[in-house]
Amino acid sequence: HVAERLGAALFVTGRLVEIGGRLRVTAMMYDLSHVEPLARATAEGSANEMFEVVDRVAAELLAGRFPGTRGALAQVAANSSSSLPAAKAYFAAEQHIGNGRFSAAIDALRDAVRQDSGFALAYYRMSHAAELIGDDALARDAAATAVRTSQRLDDHYRRLLAAAAAR
């Protein structure tokens, strides 16, 4: 494998197809130690949206690295921000949260919302991380901002954010 020679633990394979000015990008991310893909992603768009389509696929692949409920939330996050740098910061924060580094998570989430001020799930996770370190003011402010910026989310997630803010 080329990935082994380069010292990469993860690698991506995929296809880019263009038909009549429309693109379809399909990709799978693998870990060298597994036969099955860790994540799969597909996105479509016009040929002049190529970079945006590739960014959507990249964000979905990154989200696929998280298990369980965090993974479901990461998938929604990947689709609710059009900024790959914001999504990457969000995923870095998820890794910090998973490792119990809540202050580092808050810093990464602040970076995410600097990149995309309407990234409601980043505010939601910031509220959660702030609550875990006992910063009640930040927890309240971030939860309220999550609700205010939740228009990109479906009804289920808007209600989830509203419930978290009410709590």
Q: Is residue 39 a contact partner of residue 60, using CB atoms and an 8 Å limit?
A: yes
DSSP output for 56-107: HHHHHHHHTTS-HHHHHHHHHHHHH-S-HHHHHHHHHHHHHHHTT-HHHHHH
pLDDT tens over the chain, length 167 residues: 677 788 887 888 999 998 888 999 999 988 887 788 888 889 899 988 888 888 888 878 877 777 777 778 888 888 899 899 999 999 999 999 989 999 999 999 999 999 999 999 999 999 999 999 999 999 999 999 999 999 999 999 999 999 999 98
